[in-house]
Amino acid sequence: MANRTRPIRIEIRVSENEHRLIKSKMAQLGTKNMGAYLRKMAIDGYIIKVDYTQQKKLAVAVSRIASNINQICRRINSTGHFYEDDVAELKERQKEIWQLLKSSQSVEL
């Protein structure tokens, strides 16, 4: 045991579901050596952290315009009329959404 190339032992505990997932990923790679697989993933594996700030802003803007459209539709259904201010507000909200989409796209590219 003194001549081992890897003398430090690391142990982890996993649930049955996690074990099944690890085995599945090992099968996808075609490896049967769990120690080698876990070592490789621990050393070379990637952690991807996604920033959803732009998507959240876009979701808020879309929600806002959907609410405005709903209010305008109710007003049109009850009175039978729509107003230029309503159309102008909808166009402004649409511009806001397009700006968010363009800025999100430029950041991602």
pLDDT digits (tens, 9 = 90+) for 25-37: 999 888 899 999 9
Residue written as token pair 């909200």 = 93
Token pair of 88 as six digits: 């102008």
Label residue 21 by pLDDT band (50, 70, 90). Answer: very high
Phi, psi of 6, deg, nearest 5? -130, 85
Could you give the 3-state DSSP secondary structure of residue 21?
Answer: helix
pTM (two decimals)? 0.46
pLDDT at position 49: 77
Report the share of the chain in percent with pLDDT over 90.
21
